[in-house]
Structure 1
Amino acid sequence: MSDKPSVLFVCVHNAGRSQMAAGWLRHLAGDTVEVRSAGSAPANQVNPAAVEAMREVGIDITDQTPKLLEWETAESSDVIVTMGCGDACPVFPGKRYEDWQLDDPAGKDVDAVRPIRDEIRARIEKLAGELAAGRTAG
């Protein structure tokens, strides 16, 4: 078992918010955190406006594909961050849960996605700091 914390980002389509959050955490935490993302009803592709908004800040998420949320993935994650998946998100005792209320970038242009991207970054910076503090406290 790895001592590296595992974070799962979940939204409905796994095409915008969760992909941007995963991109930010990979970028900011490097290999100190296992990063996962999934959706309760995955889209066919990552939202092009989300890809462009992340590209503008030097993060490439073009190689990511929306994935179906699987029970085992959630069960084996330490932190589960939900972003509007509602009752489709499984709940496991002992897991840390955060529910981030964020605008959905679906159907929006890149100008409308930038503020969502920036809000996600602020939340990821806080989460990454908490994960790093927890790792060094042990």
Structure 2
Amino acid sequence: MPETTTNHSAPETTPENSTSPSDQPVRGAEEEVAPVSEPTERSQNPAVLFVCVKNGGKSQMAAGLMRQDLAAAGLGGAVVVSSAGTQPGSKVNALAAEVLAEVGADIAGEAPTQLTPEAMREAGHVVILGAEAEVDALEGVKIERWELDEPSARGIEGRERMELVRDDIHLRVRELRERLLG
């Protein structure tokens, strides 16, 4: 008969223990009761968090385009959509809002938001737009990076640049929507 050992003491805090407080930011004791995986169990709908550095352009565009595409397909709310920045600015890029309005997406009333581990866990799926933003991996959170075309590297600036960025993001958002909703 195999030998069984029961340990009634508190679990050790080790990197192998994915729900260990040691791999989470320091928070108040009352917040330590939820395991890392729980936020993905709260909602029946998939969720995505779009991230860039300032949360004033690319990530806001992606979130706005995802919401607009879902609404146009009669799927408003089928995916929980949010955005954040690693070093958020003070406002949404006016040109980004303008070129999105041309395709029916309204981000003019949005405001940049700070990226937090809690927001990442709640979404469960994080999309980093561009190469600049650095995001640490979190247990139970899927992270993907979209290496976007950067028209300014080819000398394309202003409205034309922003339209090209919008169109690149829009194609990727449509593909992501299909993956999330099957």
- 2:62 aligned with 1:16: no
| Aligned-residue offset at 1:91 | 1.0
* Cα deviations by residue, 1:30-56 (Å, 9 ceiling, x for unpaired): 210110100011111111110111011
Cα deviation for residue 85 of structure 1 reads: 4.5
Match of 1:27 among 44, 51, 68: 68
2:170 paired residue number: 121
Structure 1 or 2: more helix by fraction:
1
Distance 2:114 2:170 in 1: 24
TM-score, scaled relative to structure 1: 0.87
Counterpart of 1:136 in structure 2 is: none
How far does residue 27 in structure 1 lie from its aligned partner after superposition? 1.0
CA-atom RMSD, angstroms?
Answer: 1.6
State the distance in 2 between where 1:79 and 1:28 align: 18
> Separation in 2 of the partners of 1:40 and 1:95?
17
Contact 1:17 1:104 in 2 (8 A): no
1:131 and 2:177 matched: no
Aligned to 2:113, the other structure's residue is in SS state coil
Instruction: Give the letter aligned to residue 83 of structure 2.
Output: S
**What are structure 1's unaligned runs of at least 5 residues?**
134-138
Equivalents in 2 of 1:77, 1:31: separation in Å? 14
What does the per-residue CA deviation read over 1:48-70, in whole Å, with 9 as the maximum and x for residues that have no partner? 11011101111111111011111
What letter is aligned with 1:35?
Answer: V
Give the whole-Å Cα distance in 2 for the aligned partners of 1:75 and 1:2. 12
SS of aligned partner of 1:32: coil
Q: TM-score, normalised by structure 2?
A: 0.67
Q: Aligned residues: percent identity?
A: 36
Q: What amino acid is the match of 1:55?
A: A
User: Per-residue CA shift, 1:69-111, capped at 9, x if unaligned?
Assistant: 1111012212100123443x13112322210112388xx5222
For residues 122 and 94 of structure 1, the distance between their equivalents in structure 2, rounded to whole angstroms, comes to: 27
How many residue pairs get matched? 130
Larger radius of gyration between Structure 1 and Structure 2: 2
- Opposite residue 16 of structure 1, the aligned amino acid is G
Query: Is 1:80 aligned to residue 129 of structure 2?
Result: no
Whichever residue aligns with residue 128 of structure 1, its letter is: R
CA distance in structure 2 between the partners assigned to 1:117 and 1:109 by the alignment: 12
